[in-house]
């Protein structure tokens, strides 16, 4: 139901996905869709929220593996890159965030969740001496997020995300060489 909308939003964007398109794809009528979501915006918001719901789960998984803080950060981003390459809901959420200006309603503030998480992990890394001395956790976190977003977006634009995992590993190798002690 909401999955279909995510797929369409991911493929065509918010404005070019009409409610009728969603309804047709699900095999319902517009009226039926409007029974579940009061508004097209509500649909988009639901998708974006589903997107953000992925990360806490992922964090638990990675934490369960017992890496050091800095490796947890790295693994998180690697796994996230994989998810961006495969999960339509995550892809749709990312795209809708890009198009947030087209959506009337307020969406969760993007990027800050990741930045905060990484800042925290890198602060822990600093304490155990895993962080390069010239680096502040917050700046490093912001740069990681920017690069991650950039890699993901360019991979999407140029190669339909086919090469995202590879590209991200290349980029993060460069970054972590400067970040790690």
Q: How far apart are CA 47 and CA 11, in angstroms?
A: 13
Instruction: Please report how close the Cβ of residue 21 comes to DNA at its closest, in angstroms.
Output: 7
Between 15 and 36, name the residue whose CB sits nearer to a second copy: 15
Between 45 and 168, name the residue whose CB sits nearer to a second copy: 168
DSSP string for residues in 103-165 = SSSPPPPSSHHHHHHHHHHHHHHHHTT-B-TT--HHHHHHHHHHHHHHHHHHHHHHHTTTTHH
Question: Out of a second copy, DNA, none, which partner does residue 151 contact, by CB within 5 to 8 A per kind?
Answer: a second copy
Q: How far apart are CA 161 and CA 5, in angstroms?
A: 19
Question: In the chain, where do the E strands start and end?
Answer: none
Binding mask 25-54 for DNA (x = CB under 7 A): --xxxxxx-xxx-xxxx-------------
Between 61 and 105, name the residue whose CB sits nearer to a second copy: 105
Q: Are 145 and 114 in contact (CB under 8 A)?
A: yes
Instruction: Please report how close the Cβ of residue 12 comes to a second copy at its closest, in angstroms.
Output: 7
Q: How far apart are CA 88 and CA 3, in angstroms?
A: 8
Told to check if 11 binds DNA by CB under 7 A, we report no
Binding residues (CB under 8 A) for a second copy: these are 12-13, 15-16, 98-102, 109-112, 134-135, 139-140, 142-143, 145-151, 153-154, 157-158, 167, 170-171, 174-175, 177-179
């Amino acid at each position: 139901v909401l999955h279909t909308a995510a797929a369409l939003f991911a493929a065509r964007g918010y404005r070019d996905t009409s409610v009728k398109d969603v309804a047709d794809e699900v095999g319902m009528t517009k009226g039926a869709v409007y029974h579940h979501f009061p508004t097209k915006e509500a649909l988009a918001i639901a998708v974006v929220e589903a997107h953000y719901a992925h990360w806490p789960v992922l964090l638990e998984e990675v934490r369960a593996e017992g890496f050091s803080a800095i490796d947890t950060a790295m693994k998180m981003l690697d796994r996230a890159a994989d998810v961006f390459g495969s999960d339509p809901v995550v892809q749709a959420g990312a795209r809708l965030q890009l198009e947030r200006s087209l959506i009337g309603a307020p969406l969760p503030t993007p990027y800050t969740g990741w930045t905060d998480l990484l800042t925290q992990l890198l602060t822990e890394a600093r304490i155990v001496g895993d962080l390069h001395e010239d680096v502040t956790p917050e700046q490093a976190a912001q740069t990681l997020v920017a690069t991650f977003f950039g890699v993901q977006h360019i991979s999407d634009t140029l190669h339909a995300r086919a090469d995202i995992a590879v590209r991200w590993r290349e980029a993060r190798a460069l970054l972590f060489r400067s970040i790690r002690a």
